[in-house]
């Protein structure tokens, strides 16, 4: 029975084994875009995030 790895561990193993380092910037940008969406919905950071765009 295989151990249940967290998502980041699986992603790290995929990138390391398959040598798919070109995916790293794409994943980082998706995480940043998701963070901007979450923090930009209704927080005190909204005016600062909207100023970036």
Identify the DSSP state of 30: H
Cα separations (Å) of 25 from 29, 38, 39, 46?
A: 6, 20, 21, 25
Tell me what pLDDT residue 29 has.
Answer: 93
Q: Residue 25 falls within a domain, yes or no?
A: yes
Q: Residue 15 falls within a domain, yes or no?
A: yes
CA–CA separation, 30 and 36 (whole Å): 10
pLDDT of 17 > 60? The answer is: yes
Tell me what pLDDT residue 2 has.
Answer: 57
Domain extent, residue 24, equals: 7-52
User: Residue 26 burial by CB count (10 A; 0-12/13-18/19+): exposed, middle or buried?
Assistant: exposed
pLDDT, average across residues 40-52: 72
Structural domain tally of the chain?
1
CA–CA separation, 51 and 38 (whole Å): 16
Tell me what pLDDT residue 51 has.
Answer: 75
pLDDT band at 27 (very low <50, low <70, confident <90, very high): confident
Tell me what pLDDT residue 1 has.
Answer: 40
């Amino acid at each position: 029975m295989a151990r249940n790895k967290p998502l980041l561990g699986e992603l790290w193993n995929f990138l390391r084994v398959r040598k798919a380092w070109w995916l790293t910037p794409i994943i980082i940008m998706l995480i940043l875009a998701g963070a901007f969406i979450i923090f930009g919905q209704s927080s005190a950071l909204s005016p600062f995030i909207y100023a970036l765009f």
